[in-house]
Amino acid sequence: MRLVPAADDRTTATFEALLDRTERLRPGGLGFDELADLATLYRSHLARLARLRAAGTDRPALRHLNALCVRAHTLLHVEPTAGGALRRALLVELPRALGRTWPALLVAWTLLGVGMAVGLMLGLTDATAVHALMPDGMGYGPEMLDRLLASSAARERFFEPHAVSPGQNAMFGSFLFTNNTRVGLLAFASGVLAGIPTVLLQLYNGLLLGAFSAIFVRDPHPWAFLAWILPHGIPELTAISLCAAGGLVLGAAVAVPGRHTRRRALRESVHSALLLFAGAVPLFFVAALTESFVRESLLGPLPRLAVACAYLLVFGAGFAWVRRCAARLPPDTAWLASLTGSARVTADTD
């Protein structure tokens, strides 16, 4: 016994004819009204398919309707390409994550600045502090540090441009990228320990930079030092601070979960933290390229400072964009909804 009304048969015939036309022209060849009709018919036939399945009768009609819905699903539901997903991650999700986590970014930069100030002050007041804060692994041994601290001529020779082969530059850049990414990953991953290791690492990075800067700011005009460190330092420190901010986001979820359990707070913060780390990786690459092909080159101070100014302009514009994205984000009222939901349940049980 057939339970499908004649009107439904006519609608199904229209749906099938529209599917045939869409498969010939592809969805891009249809007009807006036809696409809207196809979507509407698809939804209504999905509901009819559910009713037929629940009734369990008229198996031929059920198979025919199921086949039509599968065809419509194939045409209407197109998975995004990898390029589209990457574009959305870079242009939509990353700015939103930066907008949500800008307090963590501010804390990361503040920790780095405090460490730099302390390291600079210690290095200027006591030369032995430079030896204590600068590890041998950075490539500057005690004898070299003594020469740089004692002689302005040695500091001037330190910044003399020298030619390096492209192969050596590429090898040096790959080493820098690997090393800097390892440092950033450590600052990010250790954030799950309530953020304490991340705070210490960020302070220590600032101490190292401040102590190293104390060697060269003794000169009355340290333009050579600024031209040497700023071009690669701006993207590198930005990337490290992004990783540290991601670690701080994870640490805040563990240390101060708020109204949620620690597990839920950590789960909700992982996405934004991973986006911060993912945004830092290209900056590590840019810093490695700049350090190996700009710092290790015959360029003079002015071109190097021009590169640094270009980075400042780009990152300044990016920061303004992030703040605009943060201002457009809706306030988080999920806690209010859960609170009113709990109150409703309590009232119903009373």
pLDDT score, position 197: 95
How many angstroms separate the CA atoms of 124 and 107, rounded?
Answer: 26
User: Which residue matches tokens 């986006």?
Assistant: 275
Spatial distance between the Cα atoms of 185 and 314, rounded to a whole number of angstroms: 24
| Cβ pair 52, 62 in contact under 8 A | yes
CA atoms within 13 A on the CB side of 17: 8
Per-residue tokens: 316:
């300044």
Q: Is 8 exposed, middle or buried (0-12, 13-18, 19+ CB in 10 A)?
A: middle
One-character DSSP codes across 208-241: HHHHHHHHHTTSS-THHHHHHHHHHHHHHHHHHH
Structure tokens at 25: 């022209």
Q: Which pLDDT score, from 0 to 100, does residue 90 have?
A: 63
For every one of its 350 residues, what pLDDT tens digit does the chain have, with 9 covering 90 and above? 444 455 667 788 888 888 888 888 766 667 777 778 888 888 888 888 888 888 877 778 888 888 888 888 887 776 555 555 666 666 677 778 887 888 999 999 999 999 999 999 999 998 888 888 887 756 678 888 888 888 888 888 888 877 777 788 788 888 889 989 999 999 999 999 999 999 999 999 999 999 999 999 888 888 889 999 999 999 999 999 999 999 999 999 999 888 888 888 888 899 889 999 998 999 999 999 998 888 888 888 899 999 999 999 998 888 777 667 666 655 554 444 444 444 443 444 44
The Cα 185–Cα 245 span in angstroms is 11
Beta-carbon neighbour count of residue 18 at 10 Å?
19
Do 180 and 277 form a contact (C-beta atoms < 8 A)?
no
How open is the CA angle 201-205-210, to the nearest 5 degrees? 145
> Is-contact 184 243, C-beta < 8 A?
yes
Whole-number pLDDT of residue 348: 41
pLDDT score for 89:
65
Whether this model's pTM surpasses 0.95: no
For 2, residues 6+ apart whose C-beta sits below 8 A from its C-beta are 58, 61
Q: What is the Cα–Cα distance from 206 to 107, expressed in whole angstroms?
A: 13
Reduced to 3 states (helix: H, G, I; strand: E, B; else coil), residue 248 is helix
Q: For 107-138, b where at least 16 C-beta lie within 10 A, e where not — what string?
A: bbbebbeebbebbbebbbeebebbbebbeeee
Q: Give the residue among 111, 23, 102 at the shortest CA–CA distance from 276.
A: 102
- Supply the pLDDT for residue 339: 44
DSSP E strands, 13-58 = none
Residue 48's Cα: distance from chain center in Å?
A: 44
Across 202-217, b (16+ Cβ under 10 Å) vs e yields bbbbbbbbbbbbbbbe
Q: Which residues contact 280 (CB under 8 A, 6 or more apart)?
A: 184, 238, 239, 240, 242, 243, 246
